[in-house]
Amino acid sequence: MRAAATVSERTAPAAAPAAARSRPGAAGQRRALAGLALLLALAPLAFPNAYVYEVAILVALNAVVCVGLNLLIGYAGQVSLGHAAFFALGGYGSALLAVHAGWPVWASLPAALAAVALIAWAVGRPTLRLEGHTLAMATLGLGVIVSIVLANEDRLTGGPDGMSVPPLALFGHTLHGERAWYAVAAAALWLAVAMALNLVHSPVGRALRALHGSPVAAETLGIDSARWKLRVFVISAVMAATAGALAAHHGGFITPGKASFLHSVELVIMVVFGGMASVWGAVVGAAVLTLLPQLLTVLKDYETMVFGAVLVATMVFFPRGIVPTLARLWGRGAR
């Protein structure tokens, strides 16, 4: 074999071909992101009325939440059963500061996001140190407490009937109308997907996937699991809060039902169905499961059952989720 040298010298990029090697899949990802941008930009041409815009905005914002939740569930391997609370707190936080403290929305919104980050940090820090599904339980507790508090403190929050939310205004221009809001929501979605993909293909992303793949091995490589899980948890909470705040300012209204356990469960279903370790899966899952109830308004009564059945069927028949499963089949078929 070759002569001895220091390990560092031996592992340095030896020849030009090795160093110039780009990440496998990078080109494909660039194409997919460009495709998404194109799709988002051109889709409105097919929208016949304002209602479809509303649905599209809802899909986009749900997808933002799901991309964040997917990072937590699929890459960090932790389940949050209270993510709807962060969604609602984003909206309520911004609304409360704007309505009761008189803050302009361009200040109250970021402040609400900062508050959510703090809450997520406070809840996540003690629980993520423990083994197992402790985060699931903690977020469950947090979610229900938040929804109860929001419903009870009616002097501040308007109680179970909710409160009205001032519109978003930047530099004197009020964001108004479904077209403008669609642009905002679509941009938020594209940014969320791009940043999530960047994260996955970075040292941070590898650390997270390592934690999910083998926590023991990850630790021996120097990956501090508690620290990374906490960071991902906070990021996913802030993403949910951003979507929630945008939804609140767009709709002009917010209710405590947005923080409910059921809403949290719906979000988990979207991520699991779409594909737990797949950013694109999160988008697909959000899109399909937001559109489904809209399309089947006739079957409103069946909604709970259908969502439950979707979840069970996913775990039994394609536990990886729909996008990774299809990607596999495609890969096998292409050979």
Partner 1 sequence: MTILLEVEGIAKRFGGLQVIESLSFAVEAGQVFSIIGPNGAGKTTLLNLLTGIYRPDAGRVRLAGQDVTGLAPHRWAAAGLARTFQNLQVFFNMSALDNVMTGRHRHERCAMWPSLLHTPALRRAEADCRGRAVALLRRVGLAPWLDAEAEAMPYGALKRLEIARALAAEPRLLLLDEPAAGLNATEAREIDALIRELAAEGIAVVLVEHNMRLVMEVSDRVLVLDRGRKLAEGPPHEVAEDERVVEAYLGTTAEPA
Partner 2 sequence: MDSSALQFVAGGLTAGAIYALVALGFSIVYHASHAINFAQGEFVMVGGMAAVSFVGFGLPLVAAVPLAVLAAMMVGVLVQRLAIEPAQAAQARLQGASGRRPDVVTLIIVTIGVALVLRGVAQLLWDKRVHSLAAFSGQQPITLPGGATIVPQSLWVLAGTALAVAALAWFFGRTLYGKAMQAAAINPLAAQLMGISPRGVMRVSFALAALLGALGGVLTAPITFTSYDTGVMLGLKGFAAAMLGGLGSFAGAVAGGLLLGLVESLGAGFVSSAYKDAMAFIVILLVLFVLPGGLLGARRSDRV
The footprint of partner 1 (CB under 8 A) covers 1, 4-8, 10-14, 18-24, 195, 198-199, 201-207, 209-210, 212-214, 216-225, 231, 235, 277
Type and span of the H or E element at 163: strand 163-164
Q: Which stretch binds partner 2 (CB under 8 A): 62-70, 162-170, 279-287, 306-314?
A: 306-314
* Cβ at position 40, least distance to partner 1 in Å: 20
Q: Which does 326 bind (CB under 5 to 8 A by kind): partner 1, partner 2, none?
A: none
Distance CA 107, CA 97 (A): 9
The yes or no reply on residue 317 touching partner 2 (CB under 8 A) is: yes
- Residue from 56, 72, 142, 168 touching partner 2 (CB under 8 A): that is 142
Q: Which does 304 bind (CB under 5 to 8 A by kind): partner 2, partner 1, none?
A: partner 2
Contact call for residues 130 and 141 (beta carbons, < 8 A): no
The yes or no reply on residue 160 touching partner 2 (CB under 8 A) is: no
- Residue from 12, 14, 309, 329 touching partner 2 (CB under 8 A): that is 309
Closest CA to 71 of 199, 210, 185, 243: 199
* Cβ at position 193, least distance to partner 1 in Å: 12
End-to-end CA distance of the chain: 36
The yes or no reply on residue 138 touching partner 2 (CB under 8 A) is: yes
- Residue from 148, 191, 221, 296 touching partner 2 (CB under 8 A): that is 148
The yes or no reply on residue 222 touching partner 2 (CB under 8 A) is: no
Distance CA 232, CA 208 (A): 8
* Cβ at position 22, least distance to partner 1 in Å: 7
Q: Which does 38 bind (CB under 5 to 8 A by kind): partner 1, partner 2, none?
A: none
Q: Which does 152 bind (CB under 5 to 8 A by kind): partner 1, partner 2, none?
A: partner 2
Query: How does DSSP classify residue 75?
Result: I
DSSP secondary structure, 275-325, as one string: -TT-HHHHHHHHHHHHHHHHHTGGGGGGHHHHHHHHHHHHHHH-TT-HHHH
Among residues 136 and 288, whose Cβ is nearest to partner 2?
A: 136
* Cβ at position 216, least distance to partner 2 in Å: 8
The yes or no reply on residue 232 touching partner 2 (CB under 8 A) is: no
Distance CA 22, CA 231 (A): 28
Could you tell me where the DSSP H helices lie in the chain? Answer: 7-11, 16-20, 26-42, 50-70, 83-100, 105-128, 134-152, 154-157, 177-200, 203-213, 215-220, 225-251, 261-274, 279-295, 303-317, 322-334
Q: Which does 173 bind (CB under 5 to 8 A by kind): partner 2, partner 1, none?
A: none
Distance CA 248, CA 88 (A): 8
Distance CA 192, CA 198 (A): 10
Q: Which does 298 bind (CB under 5 to 8 A by kind): partner 2, partner 1, none?
A: none
Q: Which two tokens stand for residue 256?
A: 């405590």
- The pair phi, psi for residue 163, each rounded to 5°, is -135, 160
- Residue from 60, 72, 77, 267 touching partner 2 (CB under 8 A): that is 77
Interface residues toward partner 2, by CB under 8 A: 73, 77, 79, 123, 126-127, 130-134, 136-138, 140-142, 144-145, 148-149, 152, 214, 261-262, 265, 268-269, 272, 301-312, 314-317, 319-320
